[in-house]
Amino acid sequence: MSFSEYMAKDRRLALLRFLDDAPERKLNIAVIQTALDGVAHSVSRDIIETDMELLEEHGFVRIERLPLRSGELLIGHLTEAGCDAANGRRRSPVVARPKPR
């Protein structure tokens, strides 16, 4: 596994864990980006959107898109499968295996 692949899997795990800790297990993309910056995963919004779409394909999140005058607001909702992946109860080729918290 390349270093960039390792970092992407770790970033997706962090994203799932942030959603798992959030009220109602949902966060908008701006909050996710700020949280990822805080754990040394500073990436563009486009990369986060791509990660969220990949996680949605795997059934770990559901993306809600709300129209705004300036575009749209993306909100990630954690699914039960995503909760299991965030807590090490489910393995995935696109998410790092978590260490115990």
Profile the chain (101 residues) by mean pLDDT over runs of 10 residues.
94 98 96 96 95 98 94 95 96 91 64
Integer angstrom CA distances of residue 94 from 17, 49, 89: 14, 15, 15
Give the pLDDT of residue 80: 98
**Which CATH number is associated with domain 25-86?**
1.10.10.10
Q: Can you give the residue ranges of every domain in the chain?
A: 25-86
In the prediction, which pLDDT does 101 show? 64
What pLDDT does residue 66 have? 94
